[in-house]
Structure formats: structure tokens, C-alpha cells
Copies of this chain bind each other. A is one copy, B any other.
Amino acid sequence: MQYSEAKERYIEAWGSLGSSWGVNRTMAQIHALLMIATEPLTTENIMEELKISRGNANMNLRALLDWGLAKKVLKPGERKEYFVTDKDPMVLATQVAKERKKRELDPIIKLLEEVSTVQGGNEEAKEFRKVTADLKGFAKQADSVLNTFIQSNANWFFKILGKLTR
């Protein structure tokens, strides 16, 4: 396969995969581009490569910075901002896990804490308490696992696999 074709397919696939790790298509594509770049890219580079507007490029770059998935680098003597991403997939996974935990898991645990205190002795209230309490317990376990993951090192997967299959 030719480089240009491979690159195109990879960027497109990464973009549509984006929604599965909670970011929009363009944001994921910019990330994909940074992953395979051999040196830091400017907003203009990204606009050209992905054929998107300046505003779009800017907004999604800021979102990537916000997620901790890209950072600015400065070149001495230049005013332009350059962007890079960490190329280690484990760092990517860790950052995504961290952000999604913060944005999704923490709020749902908080909500379940609240609603599972619902009053009432009728069947519906009882069932509601049971289900929401179960979900809360599960969410907290997931939270523990994520925390362990976020804090641990790059061999996490290997460790788990080793231990589980022992």
C-alpha cells in the first residue's frame, strides 16, 4: 500500500473511531495526524492536511489541549505555535480514561448517591433503591479499576493478563 493511501485510511478510521472514546471526528483526526507526524505541526499544516477551516482547527486543537492529548511547543525565534502529541498508546489510553472518568463516571456516581435515597415502601420504590444501589456499587468498582489504571505504569495490561491467567 502507498503511504498516501494508508495515511488517508488511517486518519479517516481514527476519526470515526473518535466517538468511541468520546471526542468528535475532527478532534480525533487532528490527533491521528499528530500521532504520525515526524515533527510538530502548526494550525496551518493541520488546516491543509485535513482541509478544514482555521476556526475549526483552532477549536479542536484547544479541545485536544484540554483533554491533555496534545501540547504546544515553541520553536525559538518563531511566533507560530506548534503542536505535538505523545505517541505512546498507553499515554493516550490513560489520558482518555482520566478525562472520561471525570466527565462521566464521577457525575453518575454522584447522581446515584442521591437518587438511591428515595423514600417509600411500595414495590416500585424498593426496586428503584435496589437497582440504583447496585449500579452505584458497580460504578464504584469501575472507578477503582480506572484509578488503578490511571496511576499505574505501562505494563498494566501485561500484569493483569499474567495474573488473571495464572
The chain A residues found within 8 Å of chain B, CB to CB, are 1-3, 6-7, 9-10, 13, 17, 19-20, 22, 35-38, 87-90, 93, 100, 104, 107-108, 111-112, 114-115, 117-120, 122-125, 127-128, 131-132, 134-135, 137-139, 141-142, 144-145, 148, 152, 157-161, 163-165
Contacts and interface: CB of A to CB of B under 8 A. Distances in A.
Which residue of A104, A120, A142, A160 has the most chain B CB atoms within 10 A of its CB atom?
A160
A127 B88 CA distance: 13
Given A20-B104, A141-B158, A87 B1 contact: no
Given A36-B131, A127-B36, A1 B115 contact: yes
Contacts of A163: 160, 163-164
A131 B165 CA distance: 28
Given A10-B132, A131-B35, A132-B10, A118 B161 contact: no
B135 A148 contact: no
A3 B128 CA distance: 8
A141 B164 contact: no
Oligomer copy total: 2
A134 B148 CA distance: 23
A159 to B, nearest CB: 7
A134 B2 CA distance: 19
Contacts of A114: 1, 6, 9
B138 A89 contact: yes
A123 B3 contact: no
Contacts of A157: 141-142, 144-145
B7 A90 contact: no
